[in-house]
Amino acid sequence: MKKHLHDAARERPLLADGAMGTQLMAAGLEQGNCGEMWNIEHPDRVLAIQRRYVEAGSECLLTNTFGASRIMLRRHAHADDVAAVNAAAVRIAREAFGAVGGYVIGDIGPFGGLMEPYGDFSEEQVREAFREQAQALVAAGADAIIVETQTSLEELGLGLRAARDAGAASIIGSMAYDVTLDGSTFRTMMGVDPEKAAEFMEEQGAHIVALNCGTGMTMERARDAVDRYRKVTKMPIMVQPNAGQPKLVAMKVVYDETPEQMAASVVPLLEAGANIIGGCCGSTPAHIRAFRRAMDMHLAARR
Ligand SMILES: [Zn+2]
């Protein structure tokens, strides 16, 4: 039987993949359209993106299901396609690995709203949406579940619980931190800091503590976050920063940190205690290939 992702990550650092959303846009997805439906409508395009990540050296692929919960799919009138969209995504990622093999991580993003009393969604609706998605991902054979781009412990807790109840073999909680206005520190939009997040995840039965996306979270800030996680937990740590800050160029959002710029921080991240490294918004197969080179050199030097 294949090792659990969190056990494998303890033995040696693993390389995850880069962005999906910005790659879908590059492949022709229009702003505001549903990228997750491409798992059914254009599986070949999703497969091509993930194959490029595998060719670049990714050992973990996140399924194209960030917005594939019932609440998110309903916005595109696809609420009834939750099971099919999530199952197709796991199949595509598995196919992208081919004979090489690797870890298929079922991706659960935020439900995209606020819960009562701040917003319109009841806790029950959100719990049910995550439960349904986690079950679909695990039933389709995902090796792990990541509950990502999270900003509140309430929502994170519902996601982690759903993953646990679905029987996921490995569970990752991933927070999106923003650097504060004065630049002195970072926390999530809802005020959660890394120490609190890691403690909460441990209590909730997560196996891997992570961070992704966020505002102002450069590779150096990500390293700070790894340091802070490492001080409070022994869990493996996963890091997926954006390729720099989004900039608006000719009405298009661009991320301009180059593969070389980002890859320069791979070894410092490993030295700080990161176990799985990948990229979020704006990162590409070229970034992952540069990460692969840096990681391989580091591993060879260590031997
Ligand atoms: Zn992102």
Q: Render the burial of 262-296: b for 16+ CB within 10 Å, e for the rest.
A: bbebbeebbebbbbbbbbbbbbbbbbbbbbbebbe
- Cα distance between residue 85 and residue 160, in whole Å: 20
pLDDT of residue 25: 94
At what angle are helices 82-97 and 123-139 packed, to 10 degrees?
40
- Backbone φ/ψ region at 142: left (φ over 0), alpha (ψ -120 to 50), beta: beta
pLDDT of residue 253: 83
Burial of 230 (0-12, 13-18, 19+ CB in 10 A): middle
Residues of the chain with pLDDT under 70: 1
Q: Does the pTM exceed 0.95?
A: yes
Ligand 1 centre to CA of 243 (Å) is: 9
Ligand 1 centre to CA of 255 (Å) is: 10
pLDDT of residue 53: 98
Ligand 1 centre to CA of 28 (Å) is: 19
Tokens read off for 58 = 């990714």
One DSSP character per residue, 176-189 reads --EE-TTSS-EE-T
Q: Is the peptide bond before 285 cis (omega within 30 degrees of 0)?
A: no
CB 221 within 8 A of CB 179: yes
Would you give the distance in Å from CA 56 to the centre of its chain? 18
- Backbone φ/ψ region at 188: left (φ over 0), alpha (ψ -120 to 50), beta: beta
For the chain, the C-alpha Rg in angstroms (whole number) is: 18
Q: Amino acid identity of 23?
A: Q
pLDDT of residue 243: 94
pLDDT of residue 252: 82
Burial of 222 (0-12, 13-18, 19+ CB in 10 A): buried
pLDDT digits (tens, 9 = 90+) for 198-226: 999 999 999 999 999 999 999 999 999 99
Q: Amino acid identity of 25?
A: M
Ligand 1 centre to CA of 301 (Å) is: 31
pLDDT of residue 109: 98
Q: Which of 213, 232, 230 is nearest to 269 (CA)?
A: 230
pLDDT digits (tens, 9 = 90+) for 72-117: 999 999 999 999 999 999 999 999 999 999 999 999 999 999 999 9
Ligand 1 centre to CA of 300 (Å) is: 30
pLDDT of residue 250: 85
Ligand 1 centre to CA of 281 (Å) is: 4
Tokens read off for 2 = 């294949």
Tokens read off for 83 = 């099971």
Ligand 1 centre to CA of 270 (Å) is: 20
Ligand 1 centre to CA of 303 (Å) is: 33
* H helices present in the chain, as ranges: 5-11, 21-26, 38-41, 43-56, 70-74, 82-97, 123-139, 153-165, 194-203, 219-232, 259-263, 266-272, 285-302
Ligand 1 centre to CA of 40 (Å) is: 23
Ligand 1 centre to CA of 65 (Å) is: 14
Q: Which of 264, 270, 262, 268 is nearest to 245 (CA)?
A: 262
